[in-house]
Amino acid sequence: MLTSIRDKTQGIIATIILSLLIIPFAFWGVNSYFENDTKVVVAEVNGNDIGEAAYRRALDQYRNRVDPSLLDNPVFKRQIVETLVQQELVRDALASEGYAVSAQQLGALIRNTPQFQVGNEFSMDRYQAALRASGLTISQYEESMRQEKQLDQVVGSLKDSAIVSQADLDRVLTLQAQTRRAESVTITPSKFYRSATPGKDEIQSYYEQNKARYQEPEQVRIEYIRLDGAELIQTYKPTEDELKAIYEEEKSRFSTPAIRRVSHILLELAPDAPDAEKSKIKQLADDIVARAKKGESFDALAKKYSNDPTSANKGGDLGKLSPGLLPPELEAVVNQMKKGDISKPVRTEYGYQIAKLTAFTPGKTKSLNEVRAELTKQLRQRKGEERYYDMAERFNNLVYEQPDSLEPAAKALELKIEKSPWFAQSGGAGLTADPKVVEAAFSPDVKVDRRNSESIEIGANQLLALRVTDVKPARQKPLADVRPEIVATLRQQKAAEQARELGREMVLAARKGKSLAALAKQHGLAHQPAQSLSRDSKKDRALVTAVFSASKPEGKTPVVDGVDLGGSGYAVFALHSVQSGDVKNIKRAQRDKLNDELAKRRGTGYYYSYLSGLRKRSDVTINNDKL
């Protein structure tokens, strides 16, 4: 579709047609062309429609993230719609049950998002640029964040309500700590590998039945340009003026305020006290200052006269104070004092206060040279990202507007055109292992029509555009080329089957009373004597799982069974006894961890039960023929 648009929107005729189209769009708006009776509805939830556009957007989120064939799978498509139905059900429930996220909460959440900040401050330019790069409008992003936080409230309340009783915890811990005493014999395919020689007819038959496996798939080579934000950050060199400007902007961050240690005497006085009382307290304050300045102990005077019970017993000591902790009137006076000075009485909202500066540590601001490296890194980050967002928009436009070559975009953005080795649709190595790159390279527009791909996001602040330069058709490999591979496969299969057959025979013999040790000796196999196994034993996991899945032995007769170990062969085991775990020996940290896991699992179960309840109480229709 994009190809036809590109082809047909060139030349003077196309220009005239597009000019005529602008007139009705201007008068009636774009939406009038889409809001008509032909709207496709993929599902209905309580009378609310889920349209094809929403379904396509949800499906596109998985594009380049999953095997492309999945996108055409009916089961996968149905699951996408089920997810949209769940979202609609929850959205209705959130509204009816009063869950809400205020504008203030949403604003704080966005302002505190690191990728929207510059120098620890929210940047509207950064916010808008990041959303543009993601293809979202502000209203779309904020609505999605609001819904996400509303859902967090529901999920959180349900999960927090999950309680695990001590009995439940002990029961699980007992099972976890259980041990089982068992012996075993492992039969590996290597024992039969030499004798498992396939015949000529078997090889030919296997080749004919598996021809598709021995095809050399279609392969392509590509050339590409890549825009990497990290490289832009590293190559940016800030000027001295820029460093000075950001230094002044961030100066407070590199400043340590002056620290003063202050003692005080508080003579309480209400703001609306009578004049006579004001005069009396003022006179007392003047007397105390006079006595202190004559040499009388400030500590003793504070203990005797101060109405501040917290500091009076410590001789009025308030400790080390940063700016802003004292009443403004008193702080203004203290800031002018030298160590050992005693202030005049100062009227504050609490009454009259007398201060003594007992210690002073001057403030310090790091120089530009001291923080130059840090500011350089900060500026590189800021300017590099700003440059990336600007270049990303130009990158997108150039590779689309000049579809027949990457050279215009490479030249305009000073990017290098690189080339890849051959790779198939299953992917290659490095860059060509990325599913997004592979899907783009094998798309008809790129592979057949030899046009530029759209820009592909291959990582954080990384864009790539590619075009196919060569195509190597698929071909069937001849039997001669793949014979050694087929022989090795058939040998492994035959050897593994012989190992399984012998294992099954040994299980039957052991159940009839023959010991595993004797059977192992008879067939030249290694015997593992009975030993205690725990659930996390470092043996073959399939064997340990089989031992712990076996029923408990009755009396002294062991339970004998076998387990297929896949490529590792077959194991026969005899379970002799089961020992319950002792919860008393389990450490507190392990108990707490399991308790958290069980609570989380139970809380998740509550949430899915909640969703199930919503579904049962709702009217839901899914139109499978529209998917």
pLDDT tens digits for 598-615? 888 888 888 888 888 888
| pLDDT class of 64 with cuts at 50, 70, 90 | low
Specify the higher pLDDT residue, 386 or 155: 386
As a whole number of angstroms, the distance between CA 490 and CA 498 comes to: 12
Residues in Cβ contact with 42 at an 8 Å cutoff, skipping those fewer than 6 apart: 50, 51, 52, 54, 55, 81, 84, 622, 623, 626, 627
Go through the domains of the chain in sequence order and give each one's CATH number: 1-38 (no CATH), 178-197+486-579 (3.10.50), 218-237+382-473 (3.10.50), 258-362 (3.10.50.40)
Q: How far, CA to CA in Å, does 444 sit from each of 56, 244, 451, 604?
A: 20, 53, 9, 43
Backbone angles phi and psi of 556, in degrees to 5: -100, 0
With H, G, I as helix, E, B as strand and everything else as coil, classify residue 82: helix
Q: How much is the pLDDT for 379? A: 82
96 residue type, one letter: S
| pLDDT of 33 strictly over 50 | no
What confidence score (pLDDT) does residue 17 get? Answer: 31
Q: How many CB atoms lie within 10 A of CB 133?
A: 17
**CA–CA separation, 224 vs 421, rounded Å?**
12
Measure Cα distances from 234 to 379, 383, 394, 397, 415 in Å: 10, 10, 20, 25, 15
Q: Is the pLDDT of residue 34 over 80?
A: no
Which whole number is the average pLDDT over 304-323?
Answer: 89
List pLDDT tens digits, range 446-460: 999 999 999 999 988
What is the C-alpha separation between 331 and 339, in angstroms, rounded?
14
* DSSP string for residues in 372-422: HHHHHHHHHHHHHHHHHHHHHHHHHHHHHHSTT-SHHHHHHHT---EE---
